[in-house]
Chains A and B, each alone.
Chain A
Amino acid sequence: MPSTKFQLTMGRATREAYGDALLALGRENRDIVAIDADLAKSTFSWTFGKHFPERFFNIGIQEANMAGIATGLASSGKIPFISSFAAFVLCKGFDQLRMGAAYPQLNVKVAGSHGGISIGEDGVSQQSVEDVALACALPHFIVCVPSDEHAMRAAVFAAARHDGPVYLRLGRPKAPVIHEPDLSFVFGKAIRIRDGDRLTIVANGLLVGQALLAADALAERDIEARVLDMHTVKPLDHDALESAARETGALVVAEEHLHYGGLGSAVALSLAQHTPAPVEVVNLGDQYAESGKPDDLMRKYRLTSAAIVDAAERVIART
């Protein structure tokens, strides 16, 4: 059992790590091409763009066209990384990703930044809370929500190595450091960050940090929680969930997403098919949020360690 408490140390935003990783990738692979839709300075694709202007295209505010161009680039042997706010690239480019990336299984990488409500003040139009559901609906897509800068860097490199479409969700605010820089990262393999025997907290993105804080709070009451960073929603790590269900008996799933179609849905389906166990969820529910400071929003919409603790108590009561 862990002897030291989780120290919430803020690292860089995952979007910033995305830009750095893309630049590093571009240095070693000439086939990497990046396109952005007028948000290059927000998604940090500009980090790549300023070093490789000939391989960077700021297409303007044209998400559908961007996704279509990626199809042509991938078909002619390039590895396009397209980026914008998650809300725009997936909602406005969805048909193009369906016909031009998912169906032909092309090597198109999609980076959706400003995922979740933690983008804050800009409000609902910019807050992507359904991107994971949309991306998971696309056959052949890998769907990944890294929790910190190190996981994001590893995910970008893994995306480039993978031959097929990948969706990466990037976050706007600084993210707490969860992993070591040299973490072992494989799509579809959850990372066990903490062990426990009474329940398992399954989380991704910013909620991984909250899960660790929740686990410490629970430990003070002698409730030891396992924490899994389930960075990949598709393909899901069924083995890790099966072990969690058998060994800990109950699960809480925490994510910055709507209730339907996200990690919670995926975990519940997996457990129902393989190893039934009680599940409680911490998510946005079936609603949109509003403008506000990121921390205020996360508190108001209960995407916090306190909400995870409450869910843990509810799920343990059901065992």
Chain B
Amino acid sequence: MTAVEPDTVQELETIARRLRRHAIRMIAGANSGHPGGSLSAAEIVTALYFGGILRHDPARPDWPDRDRFILSKGHGVPILYAALAERGYFPVDELMTLRQVDSRLQGHPVQGMTPGIEASTGSLGQGLSIGIGHAIAGRLDGKLFRTWVVLGDGECQEGQVWEAAMAAANYELDTLTAIVDWNRYQLDGAVEDIQSLVPFPDKWAAFGWNVLEIDGHDMAAVLQALTTASQHRGQPTCIIATTVKGKGVSFMEHNNEFHGKAPTGEQLEVALTQLAE
């Protein structure tokens, strides 16, 4: 395992803040979208796209050997669009077209419409199965690419997630990594109050997965876990990343009001100040 350089971490944290600013601006501009779950996943997405984890080439979104990234919790897509734009998949200017008619940036990810988007998600529970399909195809073709799937914690109430968890472990798909954004809230309230997933790490372990638990906002820990996952053999890895919904904007943190509500113009200014470099 390689230690992560402090400079790298600091640089990535700066990028994560920039992605957060993009996401909040986009959602405010569209006056619709999901800030909470976009902000909670910022470090995960940043580490993958800017931390040297994801093998990809923005100039060739269809490169057969690229790593696949699937945002199964599709409502968090503003943070992904921000990362893709910053990486050059499409112009940064395009970000502000989010959710508008004729835009390539749909409210939830759409495969084939936006460069870099690998799967149409938004109907929760489906991304891990899609990831299995990619991983199997890679194995059949003798390719080395990896498949990364980010799920929400509430999303793991869906039965299909556990169908996929069972199959991925039985097929020993060690090129597949699930990252759960454990931000503890779903639309109607706290996951724990609505349909508890506890004991969560035990469930994945019982299904045959290698399980890592981290602080999903500790950039060094995120990088370390992603690296560990890519080196683990014989089992898929599930990284459970404990996060804060709305992370980085004081009035959004732990405030589920901002699960699916855009900030006002005034709130946007405050948020951008808090997220300044």
A-facing mask of B115-140, CB < 8 A → 1, else 0?
A: 00011111101101111111111101
Residue of B nearest to A61 (CB): B163
Interface residue count for A (Cβ, 8 Å)? 32
Q: Is B221 an interface residue (CB 8 A)?
A: no
Residue of B nearest to A104 (CB): B111
User: Interface segment, A68-76, A243-251, A257-265?
Assistant: A68-76
Q: How far is the CA of A73 from the CA of B167 in the complex (A)?
A: 15
Q: Is A62 an interface residue (CB 8 A)?
A: yes
B129 surroundings in chain A (CB, below 8 A): 64-69, 71-72, 96
* B120 and A100 within 8 A (CB): yes
Choose from B135, B140, B164 the contact partner of A54 (Cβ within 8 Å).
B140
Q: How far is the CA of A287 from the CA of B238 in the complex (A)?
A: 46
Q: Is A238 an interface residue (CB 8 A)?
A: no
* A72 and B130 within 8 A (CB): yes
Q: Which of A56-107 contact B (CB under 8 A)?
A: 57, 59-60, 62, 64-78, 80, 95-96, 98-100, 103-106
Q: Is B159 an interface residue (CB 8 A)?
A: yes
For chain B, give the interface size range: 20 to 34
Residue of A nearest to B164 (CB): A65
CB distance from B250 to the nearest CB of A (A): 36
* A65 and B160 within 8 A (CB): yes
A57 surroundings in chain B (CB, below 8 A): 136, 171
Q: Is A33 an interface residue (CB 8 A)?
A: yes
B159 surroundings in chain A (CB, below 8 A): 64
Q: How far is the CA of A35 from the CA of B254 in the complex (A)?
A: 43
Contacts known (A100-B130, A105-B112); A73 close to B136, Cβ less than 8 A: yes
* B120 and A65 within 8 A (CB): no
Q: Is B110 an interface residue (CB 8 A)?
A: yes
CB distance from A96 to the nearest CB of B (A): 6
B130 surroundings in chain A (CB, below 8 A): 68-69, 71-72, 75, 100
Apart from the given pairs A54-B140, A69-B129, A99-B123, 15 other A-B contacts in the complex at a CB distance below 8 Å: A33-B136, A33-B140, A55-B140, A64-B129, A65-B164, A68-B128, A71-B130, A72-B136, A73-B133, A75-B133, A76-B134, A78-B137, A96-B129, A100-B120, A104-B120
Residue positions of B touching A, CB distance < 8 A: 64, 68, 110-112, 118-123, 125-126, 128-138, 140-141, 147, 159-160, 163-164, 166-167, 171
